[in-house]
Amino acid sequence: MPIPMQHFPIKIAKVSLAGFSISLLISASIIVSGCSFLQYQSKPIDVEKNSAKFQDKDPQGSAFQQYLLSNGYPAEQLPIKNWGVEELTYCALYFHPSLDVVRAQMRASLANENIAAEKPLPGFNSNIARSNQANQDINPFAYTFSLDIPIETAGKRDIRIANAKHLTEATRLEIAQSAWQLRQSIAQALYDYQFNQQQLSILSEEEKRRQEIVAIYQKRVEVGMLSNVELSTAKFLLQTTTLELNNYQQNKAVLLAKLAAAIGVSVQKVQTMVFAEPAVILSNSKLDIPLKDQAGLQTAALLNRLDIRIALEKYAAAESKLKLEIAKQYPDITISPGYAYEFGDKVWSLGLNGLLNMLQKNKNAIAQATELRELEAAQFEALQNKVISEVEVAKVQLLQAREFLINQLALYQQQQQNTDRMQKRLSAGEIDRLELAFVKLEDINARKNTLSAEYKLLSAVNQLENTLQQPLAPTSAHLNLETLSLENSVKN
């Protein structure tokens, strides 16, 4: 029997209202959740601003002074009057842009930790349909709604978190390693500059002595007491000394630029600094450098070297990666409860979904992760052998440099005694000024050799310290590169 037409609009209105209510509810939930969406913000690179920021980096500024105080630097020593390796290292930790790069990598690693800890989000499905009512005894509308609730199995989330933590720790150690590399560069650049200054001083004195000799020869040639051969030889040696002095003077600007680059500030700021005297003075009392035996040095290196610790973290990350691939053999499960209104019928349902990977068992990914772990193990063993060899070479170089300096100091002391004796003979009229001038040249040459030996010793100490990644003799308890390198530097 046909349905009266006056009843039809009322029935449609009721069903339409129900479908409309669900659609409205879904739309409203999407709109509300969309209110919390993050918006994209453009951040173009301002080249001119970055250049100006570099020029504004001031080691004497209040911001850097506060940084020193907050990290335990003695307040009574501020402002810094003599810049040594320790003070310049503080400066690099605060200003050098390379640390900003690895700090940014650290922040990215921390973000990866948060992503790894995220649980899979539930989803929902909905659908609405209308029939053409070919069969007049059914309701023309249908709509469905279901939730998808994912469940991870085999502890995959915990394994992901562990993997992310190992990678974050490796990145943190890379920051400290970059700080140690900066310290080595700063120390070597400072020693190069100090040696250059010492050579300028000693060569200036040598030039004066050779000028004195040339003047004496010139007078003797004029009175016929000497031939021009000796005078020409003296002039040639004077020109050689002057040329060497000019080379060191020109090299001063280059060394200052290298030191500025190692610190991360402009050359103009470095030119205003007063640098401390070299750490090793011309005295045997300063040559007592504490050294462990070879096994002790190797143990110290294997325990302190940051690249060793980084390699261990990367190996642990490779192991957790393998664990994750093994865990992926077990499929994740999705539970899907749902409700459907189908043309007048109300249907409740409960679905269970999972990937059929039990047959394939993720063999290829597991094999790849296994090879990756073997690769990390091989790289760690190679790094260990490299560190042991580097420690042995660095210690031998240091011992040789120390022995060479001790010998040069003994020769220099003998030469000083000879110079004092010749000075007394000049006062007694036993020798003339020319003979004393040559004796003083010998004294200058002995001092040059001693300064060169001192420079080699400082370089060898710096190399061994960097190999061990710890000072041979602690200079300050509050300078901890591993901790300070994590501090924020100049804000962007």
> Per-residue pLDDT tens for 34-81?
456 778 888 887 777 777 777 788 888 888 898 888 888 888 888 888
Only one residue has tokens 């096994």, namely: 295
Q: For residue 342, what are the β-bridge partners?
A: 142, 345
Angstrom distance (rounded) from CA 242 to CA 192: 20
E strands present in 50-133? 123-130
> For residues 24 and 9, what is the distance between their CA atoms, to the nearest angstrom?
22
Per-residue pLDDT at 8: 34
CB 374 within 8 A of CB 320: no
Q: Does 486 score more than 70 pLDDT?
A: no
Q: What is the pLDDT of residue 103?
A: 85
- Give the list of residues 6+ apart from residue 99 with CB closer than 8 angstroms, or none: 92, 93, 175, 178, 179, 182, 485, 489
Reading the block at residue 276, the tokens are 């401390």
More confident site: 377 or 103: 377
Mean pLDDT within 450-465: 91
Calpha distance 290→399 (Å, rounded): 11
Q: Higher pLDDT residue, 267 or 135?
A: 267
pLDDT at 434: 87
Closest CA to 124 of 37, 33, 35: 33
Cβ contact 238:211 at 8 Å:
yes
With a CB cutoff of 8 Å and minimum separation 6, the contacts of 286 are 279, 280
Least confident of 336-350, 377-391, 478-492: 478-492
Tokens for 214?
């040339």
Strands (E) located in 64-140:
123-130
Task: Tell which residue, 447, 404, 446, 413, has the closest CA to residue 287.
Answer: 404
- E strand or H helix at 341, and its extent? strand 333-342
Rounded Cα gap, residues 55 and 263, in angstroms: 13
d(CA 395, CA 451): 21
> Which secondary-structure segment (H or E) carries 433?
helix 433-468
The label of the residue with tokens 């990756």 reads 372
Q: How far is CA 339 from the centre of its chain?
A: 57
pLDDT level of residue 11 (50, 70, 90 thresholds): very low
pTM: 0.79
Check if the beta carbon of residue 64 is closer than 8 Å to that of residue 73.
no
Domains of the chain (ranges; CATH) run 8-32+84-473 (1.20.1600.10)
Listed in sequence order, the residues at least 6 apart from 63 whose beta carbon sits closer than 8 Å to its beta carbon are none
- Find tokens 């294997």 and name the residue: 302
Whether the pLDDT of residue 330 is over 90: the answer is: no
Is the pLDDT confidence value at 29 over 80?
A: no
Mean pLDDT, residues 202-220 taken together: 92
pLDDT of residue 249: 94
155-170, pLDDT tens digit by residue?
A: 989 999 999 999 999 9
Cβ neighbours of residue 162 under 8 Å, at least 6 residues apart?
320
Q: What is the mean pLDDT of residues 194-199?
A: 93
| Two tokens, residue 146 | 């279901």
- Is the model more confident about 333 or about 14? 333
What confidence category does residue 483 fall into, taking pLDDT thresholds of 50, 70 and 90?
Answer: low
Residue 489 has what pLDDT?
Answer: 40
Place of tokens 């640098």: 275
Mean pLDDT of the chain: 82
Can you tell me which residue has the tokens 């040329």? 243
End-to-end CA distance of the chain: 80
pLDDT above 70: percentage of residues in the chain? 84
pLDDT in tens, 262-304: 999 989 999 888 888 775 543 443 455 556 566 778 888 888 8
